Structure 1
Amino acid sequence: MTERKQAPYARIAAELRGRIESGELRPGDRVPSTRAITQRWGVAMATASKVLAALGQEGLVRAVPGVGTVVAARPATGRARRPATEDDTARRERIVSAAMAIADTEGLAALTMRRLAAELEVSAMSLYRHVSSREQLVVLMADAAFGEQPLPERPPPHWRERLELSAALQWELYRTHPWLAAAMNLNRPLLIPNGIRHIDWALAALDGHGLDADTRMHAAVTLFSYVRGHAVDLETETGAAHTSGLSGQQWMQAQETRLSTLVDNGAFPAFAATRTDADLSPESLLHYGLAALLDGLTTRITTPPH
């Protein structure tokens, strides 16, 4: 008698079940969405829905509003999860490093699991043994990037110098990794230890200067947001410079005739009156705004540093 072929949804569910039971997908990790299942396994949306429903009935996954489907805190299996090994950590670090290299040179949009697998010369499915999704991979990349510029153990003595140093280090990171600013989201922040360290640094710098906790937190997050906001166009600029062969300054010089046409007809008198050859580079604008921000914070400082 011919053995009955396993239904597609059952085959996919068995694969995900194995990853959960082995510990490759841990409690709280996101499992592929129905859309991701249709794309990865080439099945219909109804089949993908049956996969998640089957795993849910077994108590292996649960739906979390605003997040998606994640591995349940207590998987319905008596088999012990495989603990992470040193080799697992090394492989994950290699994956993250390769992903960062792709994003640095080609942009974050170019980073797909298939592209990454080709770079590492492995199968795309093998990557999911170490990262549960592309979203988790980007989180790991962001944390690794912020970890490249550690804050000094002995900070400058003055609160303002400490915040200026933090801003400078963040800016350098965004310049090194143009994709990083766009990957951050302050409405739904990435809870990465190396990023939180900058917030903690700013909070510590402002402690003891007459500011309440709410003001200190707003100041710290505003500083982080300010630098990120200036850096968010870096990836686009990097791509435009690569495509056009012109730097931002060269592009502006090429627009001089058009700018004169817009301004010299008298439609924008204030703009025309203040038009100069001032340096309006990203660095110049960053430093100007940072100084204004810290000047404003100075007016709230009531206890001078010792």
Structure 2
Amino acid sequence: MSPNPQQRRAARHRLGTDQDAPAARRGPSGGRKKPITVDAIVSTAFGIVEREGYPALTMRRVAAVLETGPSSLYAHVVNKEDLDELLIGRLCAEIELPEPDPTAWRQQIAGVCTQLRDQYLRYPGITQASFAAAPSNLDTLRVGEGMLAILLAGGVQPQAAAWAIDSLSLYVNAYCLEHSMARGRLQDGGEGWVLSRAELLRRFAALPDSYPQTKRYAAELTAGTVHDRFDFTLGLMVDGLPRSGAADT
């Protein structure tokens, strides 16, 4: 008897491999179409997100692109949440993890977060797939393992390191989600909601005198690129981690 989707999911988590056997197409066009596999479903889902954004991703939409019915997908993935897990796992599989270096741990952890950011920004809104989900995919856990090893090598206390992984991941996810939302508003003609720096400076200058600090420091409030702010926030988070008697490096 062929394994059901739940068994396939369990096998992926234990072995880190896709044990999915391709399903033969039925009907007169069956021989002309590629078989349905987990890999085909995931690749199709990424294409939808890249073109249309994450909110457009549904099991029915994936099935339509693959020219099949939703029931064909459920022979391979458990549900939409399982597909979300596979998407994030595929992106995490492409993250390069350095050998932990106690003398460069800050740069290393920032580098991993930057890789995650750049992966997520390729697919608008994809980080929504990771919210409120405990990591169980082995590729996702591999990144967490690497981040934990880097922080521990830097002398960060184990409990702080464990919570820092969650905090850093949450910040990267939120940053990428905001970035994709702003980009989506621009694409939808919402220039009035995504303001340029010049427009922000003009609005701040026009504020009443009851906002003295905002008027005085308008240049600072609007300075830098979004990635400058990303790097600044990561630095704040990492530098604030408690460390256990290691020399400050």
Give the TM-score of the pair, scaled to structure 1.
0.64
**Identity in percent:** 23
Tell me what 2:15 maps to.
Answer: none
Aligned equivalents of 1:194, 1:248: Cα separation in 2: 37
Tell me what 1:230 maps to.
Answer: 175
Kept in 2: contact 1:203–1:216 (CA 8 A): yes
Tell me what 2:109 maps to.
Answer: 163
Q: Which runs of 5+ in 2 are unaligned?
A: 10-17, 24-34
Give the TM-score of the pair, scaled to structure 2.
0.77
Tell me what 1:292 maps to.
Answer: 236
**3-state SS of paired residue (1:132):** coil
1:123 equivalent in alignment to 2:75: no
* CA 1:260–1:223: 2 relative to 1, 3 Å: same
Aligned equivalents of 1:271, 1:256: Cα separation in 2: 10
- 2:138 counterpart (193, 211, 231): 193
Kept in 2: contact 1:199–1:220 (CA 8 A): yes
Cα offset, 1:276, TM superposition: 0.7
- What RMSD over aligned residues (CA atoms) do the two structures have, in Å? 3.1
Cα offset, 1:231, TM superposition: 1.8
Kept in 1: contact 2:49–2:57 (CA 8 A): yes
- The CA deviation string for residues 218-276 of structure 1, in whole angstroms up to 9 with x for no partner, is 22222222222222212312211211275987645445544443x2x112111111111
Aligned equivalents of 2:123, 2:91: Cα separation in 1: 8
1:24 equivalent in alignment to 2:4: yes
Cα offset, 1:290, TM superposition: 1.3
**3-state SS of paired residue (2:124):** coil
Kept in 1: contact 2:185–2:194 (CA 8 A): no
Residue type of the alignment partner of 1:291 = G
Kept in 2: contact 1:158–1:305 (CA 8 A): no
**3-state SS of paired residue (1:230):** helix
Aligned equivalents of 1:108, 1:303: Cα separation in 2: 43
Tell me what 2:213 maps to.
Answer: 270
Q: Which runs of 5+ in 1 are unaligned?
A: 1-20, 30-82
* CA 1:93–1:258: 2 relative to 1, 3 Å: same
Cα offset, 1:91, TM superposition: 1.5
Counterparts of 1:11-50 in structure 2, within 5 Å, are: 22-26=2-6
Alignment: residue pair count = 228
* CA 1:269–1:136: 2 relative to 1, 3 Å: same
Kept in 2: contact 1:210–1:303 (CA 8 A): yes
Which structure is richer in relative contact order (CA contacts within 8 A, separation 6 or more)? Answer: 2
Tell me what 1:98 maps to.
Answer: 44
Kept in 2: contact 1:145–1:177 (CA 8 A): no
**3-state SS of paired residue (1:151):** coil
Aligned equivalents of 2:216, 2:67: Cα separation in 1: 59
* CA 1:123–1:210: 2 relative to 1, 3 Å: closer
Kept in 2: contact 1:230–1:282 (CA 8 A): no
Cα offset, 1:167, TM superposition: 1.4
